[in-house]
Structure 1
């Protein structure tokens, strides 16, 4: 009975029940140190995202930092941490900075025949870090025909 309660609690708070991801954990620790705050639990949303990810997406990890000071410039600093954590094979796909200070960076790299995607988003008091593995064939299909892939089911 106690084991069932622990399992249910883990599912409800969205705790991953698999081995850690060193890259993601290192980046979360960096953000935790920077903001002096732990990420909030993703709760049921994190559980649903992991269970019902689109085909070709796996290893979804998410950290949300709320009520943090996002006014500090952090783009180059975070990019340096990403490069030192992942290595030179990381490619920044997108870097965006709005007039209001909202920032979004998307990174892509390949490791051991897998494609990895990292999304960093920062806006008024909130920072979100999202990492996932992508099936390279599904990614290539989507890049060649995004509209067709959007129409496909599954």
Structure 2
């Protein structure tokens, strides 16, 4: 793990160890394990973009766990997942504002229309463009819901 983001995570692990912050340390070690697993699986050193994708996936998992824990009435577990999600979000780029997201959606729709794509068939092309434009800066599930609403009129 020699990329900039990987070294930031490594430094954060060391800081958490020195501070005896077990929640932060555990969360960051799980993240490092996921990065290492990707490196082993693909036999390549993950770059910052790949690490961002891993972090996004882990944030999404925490978000889903929070919903499941809250529906089961387990607020203590939901609060722990929320704390872990906050730690992971520290390594993501600054979130996109609602205006930036709306502008990116409009641009993606314009590009799809210029290529003759309409309706449901355009969904994949639009989401591919938005994923590039908003990578790590927006909840893609929420963006997808906005795109679907706009496609359905």
Q: Which has the higher strand share?
A: 1
Q: Which has the higher helix share?
A: 2
- The alignment's TM-score, normalised by the length of structure 2, stands at 0.29
